[in-house]
Amino acid sequence: MKKTMTHTALIALPLALVLTGCGQPSNVSFKQDVLPIISKHCVECHLPGGAGHEASGFLVESHASLMKGTKFGPVIVPGDSLSSSLYRLVAGEVDASIRMPHGKDPLSQQEIAMIETWITQGAQNN
């Protein structure tokens, strides 16, 4: 019995390290990790005068404007990525016609994971 448990621990520990190492980013920074993704994929349409801003009121110029959301309300629920329409739109959990960015290549799995983790960790302005 004792022998089996030691074995499990020896296998489980490196596995856990590998999973945290290349799966979910461990500590996400808004300024260093999230903002560059938004700048790359969203500013084109979600700055003042852009098509996405005109249509939805959603601005990506600052942490405050991201948290404010659209003219209908927030698109980020801190701590709950699945309830956050921003996450669902970029993760492709919606119909392709409304996925973000509109009509462009989707975000990479890594970028999507970064946004997911940032929201799960409280969508902080860090």
Contact predicate 52/58, CB 8 Å:
yes
CB atoms within 10 A of CB 119: 23
Query: Would you state the structure tokens that stand for residue 74, as one six-digit string?
Result: 């927030």
At its nearest, how many Å lie between ligand HEC and the CB of residue 53?
Answer: 8
At its nearest, how many Å lie between ligand HEC and the CB of residue 14?
Answer: 35
Find the part of the chain contacting ligand HEC (CB under 6 A) among 12-20, 22-30, 40-48, 116-124.
40-48
The residue from 12, 18, 55, 82 that contacts ligand HEC (CB under 6 A) is 55
For ligand HEC, the binding residues in 58-87 under the rule CB under 6 A are 58, 70, 75, 85-86
Contact predicate 119/28, CB 8 Å:
no
At its nearest, how many Å lie between ligand HEC and the CB of residue 80?
Answer: 15
Kindly state whether residue 123 participates in binding ligand HEC, applying the rule CB under 6 A.
no
Kindly state whether residue 119 participates in binding ligand HEC, applying the rule CB under 6 A.
no
Kindly state whether residue 56 participates in binding ligand HEC, applying the rule CB under 6 A.
yes
Query: Would you state the structure tokens that stand for residue 126, as one six-digit string?
Result: 């860090």
Contact predicate 99/89, CB 8 Å:
yes
Q: CA dihedral defined by 101, 124, 75, 108, rounded to 10 degrees?
A: 20
CB atoms within 10 A of CB 109: 9
Residues that bind ligand HEC (CB under 6 A): 41-42, 44-46, 51-52, 55-56, 58, 70, 75, 85-86, 89-90, 98, 100-104
